[in-house]
Structure 1
Amino acid sequence: MKKITRLLFLAVAFMFTAFSMAQSTVSGTIMDAEMNAPLPGANIVEKGTTNGVSSDFDGNFTITTQSTSGEVVISFVGYGKVTMSFNGNTNLGKVTLSPDNTLEEVVIIGSGVIDLAEDRKTPVAVSTIRAAEIQEKAGNWDLPEVLKSTPSVQNIKAGGFGDGQMFLRGFDQTNTAFLLNGQPINGMEDGKMYWSNWSGVMDVANAIQVQRGLGASKLAISSVGGTVNIVTKTIDNKPGGFVQQMVGNDNYIKSTAYFSTGVGEKGWSFSGLLGHWQGDGYVDNTQGQGQTYFFSVGYQPNEKHALNFLLTGAPQWHAAAGSGSIGSFLESERGRRYNSWNYDGVNSPNTLNGGSYPGGRNIYHKPVANLSWDWTINEKSELSTVLYGSMGRGSFAQARTSGDEVTYARGSNNNHNWYGLVTNYNNQLTENLNFNIGADVRLYNGIHFRDVREFVSVNSVSANSGYSGDYLLTEAGGINPWEVFFNPNNDHSQRFGYDYEEQINYGGLFGQLEYTKNKFSAFFQGAISNQSHVRTEYLNTTLMGVSEESEKVNNIGYNLKVGAAYELSDMHKVFVNAGYYSRQPFHDTLFKNNRGGNELLVPEAENEEITGFEAGYQFNGGRAISANLNVYHTTWDNVTKYRSNGKVGDEFLSYQTLGVKQVHYGVELEVMTRPLDKLSLNGFLSLGEWQFKDNAIERTFNNDGVQVGEDEEILIDGFSVGGAAQVTAGINGSFEFCKNTSIDGAWNWYNDMFSTGSLGDAPLSLPSYDTVDAGFSYKMEVGKKGTSSVQFRLNVNNVFDEVYLESVNGTLQASANPEENYKGVNKQNTGRFGYGRTWNTSIRFNF
């Protein structure tokens, strides 16, 4: 009996030994090629078996195989599969996945200054839109439309091409930082964004990351709502390109071609893109057209150095949609397409739609160039530097009339020359401690004036400077964006209304320490900056053409951020962040007005104070489900607002409001699931509460900058912040019902909305609304081994043609007579309806 027992024991031991000998451990890190960042939730399966695991938060995985040699298949929805061989215990190192509808892996140059959340272990509230989704869903839309299925983001289309506005956690674009390959692109004077100047960015975007709230940016920027990082193409590893043709509603047409040589044997690479678009616009008389160009030269002399020069621009013009009362839209036969801002029966070479003249046209050309250098100094340290510049030239050409006749187009010109440098040094001091330090320098010259863009029924215009007497305008600056760029109006004697320049110089230093050990990480980040302002007046001076310069204004700003995270397990991670910003006031709030010379407002605008707290929980269920839960609390305090109200009687009145305070807090939930191999289903819910706190003080100034009357207290305490929905939700998904053929859709809901208007007037509660979008994609592989493909895409937005109020600028309360209201809102308020059903379709040949 003992012998039998021993024999059985030896047999079982031999079987276990043989089984263990037949196993191996395979490990590695899955990386996203476009973002150069870890890819959590990727699937790793031993080929020929059902044995598989998923990558963790940091892209890492370990799989125990059922055999000592073989292959593992690595995949992620929307990315091409990679098959890797193993023999015994194997560490595959970094395994890069590329989107399956792009050409090949993309090299990001200047990655050290592109502030991506994945660059550090401590998380932030973040959502990333990758190239595959951008290519499919962008269509003929601007960036904000693509981001609308992101928590706490809302897009307002605003009528004409490129006139949209994006809100993030209730803050408008002036309080959201936008970065293009690490380069700040918000307006230096007022923080504004004009999407018509960036229409080409969607054609070359590899990824877009929305960092809500405090964000991960290492720059000396102090955004309030969050940071949007746009990462574009730089160098393609292998040659290829595409040709695409798109058509859409209202005679929209867009043609695009791209080609890259790939990286040659000597390290050189070249790529370029050209495009042209034109269309009539959804709203009547909002025609537009433009071009896109992109050119990139890369050079990698060795493994330590990579350089890239990039030039891109999007010259365009588009007619604007005028504002009107809600009632005017409802009473018009054109409904949502109604545009009050155009003039019929005008005989001009630049008329639109058979004789109508646009009330206003945006004309702009803003080339942007940057030179990037990545230097891998050694295994522990690297330096990234981006030198950039842009030259903006253009204006808003507004029709001026005499009676019913358009006489000329008045140009309100906003030109600039902007140069900057962003550099970042990164050093892995120890196994657990990483150090970043860098600088952000910006030199900005803004040039602002009014002139004649086009004579329509007259040959000259009389003007008066207010100081230098009467004179005559006889030259027109033009309305073609190429002409405007290469032939700007530099003649001060042909300017009127206002004519001034500003020099804004900015210098900032920033640094970050991040500590990681096992499952814990923490960071501390600080930045300090100085911003100087000088204003030069040309028109309202004793002698026309003789400039007068203001005193220089210097403002010191700084920010501090700290955070920590703990990985409870492979599936659960928690984090908390806090920050304080002392942000310099915008240039436009420092001086009295654009007519009254160089005098500063008294008291001067002080630094704004921004305090932010956020906490989050991340769940990584691998292939099946993942989720992010964030809570936030942001206080925006000591804000100075300045506005001009135009001419009242014989005076041009302007207003300075001091001590405005807003508090925004809320909860955001984002869930990503893949219940089936070919089905993805995602959803989000954002619950916000955004209010003004305490009251403010307002002062009124006349044309000479002299205060009129006494200080007035503005009662705003407890008012809701308007402009964007405080509660949003959405569900989106895609299903590949057969090979290379898929459908997708998105439902978005907006609730708890309020109007905007003058401070001190109670905002109106606006009706909620929801929209449904849908898409269809098909890809056909052609050529040898599927090296080329033909893709077809159809997008339909607002499928059910929902009629909804997108925004209201007014505070007139609802009338007692129901017929004078629209869904509880007085029809006399100025408002804008959202677009009805729109569509675009494209065919794209990848080679």
Structure 2
Amino acid sequence: MKKRAIMLAGILVSGSMSFAQNVQKDSVKMVHLQEVQVVSTRATAKTPMAFTNVNKEQISKQNLGVDIPYLLSLTPSALTTSDAGAGVGYTSLRIRGTDGTRINITANGIPMNDAESHTVYWVNMPDFASSLKDIQVQRGAGTSTNGAGAFGGSVNMQTEGISMVPYAEVNGSYGSFNTHKETVKVGTGLLDNHWAFDARLSNIGTDGYIDRASVDLNSYFLQGGYFTGNTSIKLITFSGLEKTYHAWYYASKEDMAKHGRRYNPAGKYTDANGKDVFYKDQTDNYHQTHYQLLLNQRLSPTWNLDAALHYTRGNGYYQEYKTDSLMEYGLSTYILNGTEVKESDLIRQKKMSNDFYGGVFSLNYNNNQLSASIGGGLNEYDGDHFGKIIWIKNYVGPLNPEQEYYRSTAKKIDGNLYAKANYELGSGFNIYGDLQYRYINYKINGTNEKWDKRTKAMQLLDINENFSFLNPKAGVNWELNKHNRLYTSFSVAQKEPTRNNYTDGKFSEYPKSERLFDYELGYAYADTWFSAGANLYYMDYKDQLVLTGELNETGEAMAANVPDSYRMGAELMVGAKLDKNFRWDINATFSKNRVQNFIEMLYEDEEKNPIEIKHGDTPIAFSPDLILNNIFSFNYKGFDANLQSQYVSKQYLSNAKQKNQMLDAYFVSNLSLAYTLKLPHVKSASIGITVYNLFNEEYENNGYAGSGYSGSNKERYNYSGYAAQAGTNVMTHLTLRF
């Protein structure tokens, strides 16, 4: 603790943020014919909103196999989690305390969020970072974009432009827990003055820090382009195939004390000898393929058109060992040794098959005084959810492993139109306006996988919901001089519930849509060696669906509407280039996140006789009061060194503010060392090592919690599980470019 306090105090002395303030350049200047949907959905230095740009060099330095959330973990107000404990496999990103279901994710302006869960499962996009040019992270409601509503932030990814010269690249990583990554990239360069093609193949695997948290990921990325005059057309396809052992069950503190921090209860059962063993095929299996057809047409020196068609195919299942009531799967009881068996060990498969397709566009205008865009998109999702029982222990009677015990179909239409403009009145003073209309129709029909005790049948789903949202945004940006900038903005965002909000809630009561009023005020200073900034925000929510801390059967977080809640905070940034070789960046978020007048419903044995507990104002779950990031960077004649540190204050696992349901504060540092040299017949060769969790911090960054009461005196009890993270571990890497 003393060591941690000394290090933390040293960081706090300097104040605050700037992970990427130095790259806060007008992104309009970066646009060329190969890029689609950059101007219309991205913020620029004249946009009065908080954002961070992460360029390809910054991505490459950390892209050793970890998922994209971990590449963004040091951007302001960002937090990451890892089920397997080492950043590979199922990971998630939170911005300003909001979870992934409320973070809008796009690639080339095309929605990446799953239409039903609103989540991006990064495990289905392995090594996508190796094909990215840059990423912009907007905090708050952000600019109007396509797809899911942004309630905490948005992540706008842009894939690499096609190389005009031939190249080849091979890189590999290997480290603790048998973690490895192999990537091969090649490009033809420009052929016949019009054509060019790029390709990437990747494999990522790990045994995981958590027991049996193995991951096997394979992916490809292909793109081809045709360029002529003022027109460019690109066809992109990328695909991911994953097999991941379940690690989302987490472990209680009691289990960790008894079995160790790496304990994973998933797939546990008792064999014929009475010994506890684990099912070997407790796995998640999914294949997802994306297709994007991108057009950029320059109409004049001031006008250009971006348009895209897209299609995504997803198919897969997860398999697990359970002990359950046979009736809840539509199966008959059976007689074994003279006893009626109503509950038995079984293996089930829960499957998904879905298609997502549509188009997006933007017509953009830009001159010295005015930049404006009209854009939008229309997308449709068709999905099937169904499940099968493939084995039952000692089952007597016919068992058809192809017999389904539930099936539902979902259809969602999502359309939006927006218009935005940024006009310079003079003397560096800009006004910004942005108006979006969004319409959603969402239907679910069939049976759900949950048993309805009232009807003694699977839960019936007959949902047909329509939503119409009008989302205005406005602000001003004032460049006082070449060093100083002030901005302020007000935004409205609205968002429909997710599938889980419907299926995991009360069978007879639908969740409400959410609304956000986002107020932002910021200041930035920048010169050749020093940058600093501050952003103040107040996010006022109506009917926010907040995380309760509990998990459903698939390990996804559950949420419920609360009438009034807010998030407010200050994001501070400082960056200094102390000499030509050494740079220091630091950012901090101080925040207060509250549910107002929170009323908790507590059940006897978690299922009957509910009672109300009025808590007053309580902290929103998974929302720390302080996030602090520090980066020391040193570069000299091909040698590169980085020491990155993050401090996160305590987080509650539910909104009831229970001290025994809490993630403790943690302070984690990573040290990266790399050297780049020239070799014969090789453009460059880089070799390096990264030491994660340098000081062997023992911490958890995710979890779940639940509560109930028992007895006539209504004695409360709590339970919780925690995602333990790896101690000190290393990753080596080698990259050859030709």
Q: TM-score, normalised by structure 2?
A: 0.83
d(CA) in 2 for partners of 1:185, 1:553: 22
719, 722, 726: which one pairs with 1:835? 726
Say if 1:113 and 1:386, in contact at 8 Å, map to a contact too: no
Indicate yes or no: 2:310 matched with 1:388: yes
1:40-119 equivalent positions in 2, closer than 5 A: 58=26, 108-112=34-38, 115-118=41-44
664, 671, 678: which one pairs with 1:774? 671
Alignment match, 2:521: 615
Bigger fraction of residues in strand: 2
d(CA) in 2 for partners of 1:217, 1:647: 32
Say if 1:106 and 1:235, in contact at 8 Å, map to a contact too: no
Say if 1:112 and 1:424, in contact at 8 Å, map to a contact too: no
Indicate yes or no: 2:65 matched with 1:140: yes
What is the Cα deviation at residue 125 of structure 1? 1.2
Greater Cα shift, 124-133 or 521-530: 124-133
313, 323, 347: which one pairs with 1:409? 347
Say if 2:429 and 2:479, in contact at 8 Å, map to a contact too: yes
d(CA) in 1 for partners of 2:210, 2:503: 36
Task: State the identity as a percent.
Answer: 20
What is the Cα deviation at residue 674 of structure 1? 1.0
Alignment match, 1:632: 537
Say if 2:546 and 2:620, in contact at 8 Å, map to a contact too: no
Alignment match, 1:574: 486
Say if 1:40 and 1:58, in contact at 8 Å, map to a contact too: no
Indicate yes or no: 2:284 matched with 1:362: yes
118, 121, 124: which one pairs with 1:197? 124
d(CA) in 2 for partners of 1:225, 1:461: 52
Alignment match, 1:149: 74
Indicate yes or no: 2:578 matched with 1:675: yes
Aligned AA for 1:741? F
What is the Cα deviation at residue 448 of structure 1? 0.8
Indicate yes or no: 2:542 matched with 1:605: no
366, 378, 389: which one pairs with 1:441? 378
Gaps (5+ residues) in structure 1?
1-38, 43-55, 61-93, 97-104, 348-354, 463-470, 476-493, 542-547, 649-654, 701-706, 814-825
1:401-480 equivalent positions in 2, closer than 5 A: 409-428=347-366, 431-452=368-389, 472-475=399-402
778, 788, 794: which one pairs with 2:683? 788
Distance of aligned partners of 1:370 and 1:59 in 2 relative to their CA distance in 1, 3 Å threshold:
closer
What is the Cα deviation at residue 400 of structure 1? 3.1
What is the Cα deviation at residue 117 of structure 1? 1.8
What is the Cα deviation at residue 289 of structure 1? 0.9
580, 587, 591: which one pairs with 1:688? 591
Indicate yes or no: 2:428 matched with 1:519: yes
Q: Between Structure 1 and Structure 2, whose CA radius of gyration is higher?
A: 1
d(CA) in 2 for partners of 1:112, 1:766: 38
Alignment match, 2:475: 563
1:84-483 equivalent positions in 2, closer than 5 A: 108-112=34-38, 115-118=41-44, 121-159=46-84, 161-219=88-146, 221-302=148-229, 304-321=230-247, 322-332=249-259, 335-343=260-268, 356-358=278-280, 360-400=282-322, 409-428=347-366, 431-452=368-389, 472-475=399-402
Aligned AA for 2:359? L
What is the Cα deviation at residue 380 of structure 1? 1.5
d(CA) in 1 for partners of 2:148, 2:446: 29
RMSD of the TM alignment (CA)?
Answer: 3.7
What is the Cα deviation at residue 409 of structure 1? 3.4
d(CA) in 2 for partners of 1:522, 1:682: 30
d(CA) in 1 for partners of 2:115, 2:476: 32
Aligned AA for 1:607? S
Give the secondary structure class of the aligned counterpart of 1:612.
strand
Say if 2:195 and 2:224, in contact at 8 Å, map to a contact too: yes
Aligned AA for 2:371? N
Higher relative contact order (CA 8 A, sep 6+): 2
Say if 1:106 and 1:237, in contact at 8 Å, map to a contact too: no
Say if 2:598 and 2:618, in contact at 8 Å, map to a contact too: no
Aligned AA for 1:804? Y
d(CA) in 2 for partners of 1:356, 1:421: 46
Alignment match, 2:6: none
Say if 1:762 and 1:811, in contact at 8 Å, map to a contact too: no
1:680-759 equivalent positions in 2, closer than 5 A: 680-695=583-598, 715-737=614-636, 739-751=637-649, 753-757=650-654
Distance of aligned partners of 1:607 and 1:41 in 2 relative to their CA distance in 1, 3 Å threshold:
closer
Give the secondary structure class of the aligned counterpart of 1:717.
strand
Aligned AA for 1:585? P
d(CA) in 1 for partners of 2:34, 2:396: 52
Say if 1:245 and 1:255, in contact at 8 Å, map to a contact too: yes
d(CA) in 2 for partners of 1:175, 1:261: 39
What is the Cα deviation at residue 187 of structure 1? 1.9
What is the Cα deviation at residue 184 of structure 1? 1.4
Gaps (5+ residues) in structure 2?
1-19, 325-340, 452-459, 709-716
Distance of aligned partners of 1:270 and 1:537 in 2 relative to their CA distance in 1, 3 Å threshold:
same
d(CA) in 2 for partners of 1:358, 1:231: 39
Aligned AA for 1:672? G
What is the Cα deviation at residue 122 of structure 1? 2.1
Say if 1:369 and 1:389, in contact at 8 Å, map to a contact too: yes
> Aligned residue pairs: how many?
672
Q: Deviations over 1:712-736 (max 9, x none)?
A: 7663531101214220112112212
Greater Cα shift, 394-403 or 637-646: 637-646
Alignment match, 1:845: 736
d(CA) in 1 for partners of 2:192, 2:440: 45
d(CA) in 1 for partners of 2:77, 2:546: 24
Alignment match, 2:567: 664
Give the secondary structure class of the aligned counterpart of 1:693.
strand
d(CA) in 2 for partners of 1:295, 1:188: 24
What is the Cα deviation at residue 766 of structure 1? 4.4
Aligned AA for 1:446? G
Q: Deviations over 1:420-457 (max 9, x none)?
A: 211001124x65233211122110012111124x6597
d(CA) in 1 for partners of 2:640, 2:278: 43
What is the Cα deviation at residue 342 of structure 1? 4.0
Give the secondary structure class of the aligned counterpart of 2:597.
coil
Q: TM-score, normalised by structure 1?
A: 0.73
Q: Deviations over 1:279-326 (max 9, x none)?
A: 211111111212110110111122x11110101011010112232211
What is the Cα deviation at residue 138 of structure 1? 2.3
Q: Deviations over 1:781-827 (max 9, x none)?
A: 1346xx611111211110111112333433779xxxxxxxxxxxx99
Distance of aligned partners of 1:107 and 1:410 in 2 relative to their CA distance in 1, 3 Å threshold:
farther
What is the Cα deviation at residue 214 of structure 1? 2.7
Distance of aligned partners of 1:691 and 1:326 in 2 relative to their CA distance in 1, 3 Å threshold:
same
d(CA) in 1 for partners of 2:574, 2:552: 52
Aligned AA for 2:283? R
Distance of aligned partners of 1:567 and 1:273 in 2 relative to their CA distance in 1, 3 Å threshold:
same
d(CA) in 2 for partners of 1:789, 1:205: 20
Indicate yes or no: 2:695 matched with 1:800: yes
Aligned AA for 1:566? W
Distance of aligned partners of 1:522 and 1:221 in 2 relative to their CA distance in 1, 3 Å threshold:
farther
Say if 2:550 and 2:706, in contact at 8 Å, map to a contact too: no
d(CA) in 2 for partners of 1:59, 1:607: 33
Distance of aligned partners of 1:474 and 1:187 in 2 relative to their CA distance in 1, 3 Å threshold:
same
